[in-house]
Amino acid sequence: MSEHHTITTGSSPEQVGLALLTTAHNIREEVDRHMISATGISLSRTKVLQALAAHGTVHQARLADILGQAPRSVTQAVESLERLGLIDRTGNAEDRRRKTVSLTTTGRTALAAAERAGEHVLRQIFGSLAPQQLTDLETLLTLINPPRSHTG
């Protein structure tokens, strides 16, 4: 490995790729753990609540589209959140196939708490990066993950 010109035989795309997956997995676990211990709500469920906060009252198929998940998965998520009293689910008079989902007041409060918990962890982890490093990382991520606008 000569190191005088062109440099860097040190990290193959494969190695860096796997490192990214591992690091992200560890971070996700940490965020999830903290959110659950602080509020009882996981990152996954928080994302559902966020979608509802952002899009208002929607039916499940729409929610599946927003979340990029299978309709079946949304049914399950919505069931669990309903059991917790964080969302309301009612039939739809105009289209009786649909079920209309919306945040409850409790849900809105829980969402705020969960977001705070998650953001706290992310600030702890990413706060060590300088502003320039943050934007560098963001740029690299967009290069890797072409922001595929959702199919619809």
> What residues between 97 and 126 interact with a second copy by CB under 8 A?
118-119, 122-123, 125-126
Residue 11 or 57 having the CB closest to a second copy: 11
Residue with tokens 């990066």: 129
Is 64 within 8 Å of 75 (Cβ atoms)? no
Contact partner at residue 138 from a second copy, DNA, none, CB < 5 to 8 Å by partner kind: a second copy
CB 25, min distance to a second copy, A: 7
For residues 1 to 40, the per-residue mask of contacts with a second copy, x marking binding by CB under 8 A and - elsewhere, is -----xxx-xxxxxxxxxxxxxxxxxxx--x---------
For the chain, the maximum distance between any two Cα atoms, rounded to a whole number of angstroms, is 72
Contact partner at residue 17 from DNA, a second copy, none, CB < 5 to 8 Å by partner kind: a second copy
Contact partner at residue 151 from DNA, a second copy, none, CB < 5 to 8 Å by partner kind: none
Contacts with DNA by CB under 7 A lie at: 42, 44-45, 59-62, 64, 68-73, 75-80, 94-99
Is 87 within 8 Å of 52 (Cβ atoms)? yes
Distance CA 57, CA 101 (A): 6
Return all residues near 67 (Cβ < 8 A) that are at least 6 apart: 47, 48, 51, 74
DSSP 55-84: H-SEEHHHHHHHHT--HHHHHHHHHHHHHT
Distance CA 29, CA 17 (A): 19
Residue 2 or 12 having the CB closest to a second copy: 12
Q: Which residues bind a second copy (CB under 8 A)?
A: 6-8, 10-28, 31, 118-119, 122-123, 125-129, 131-138, 140-145
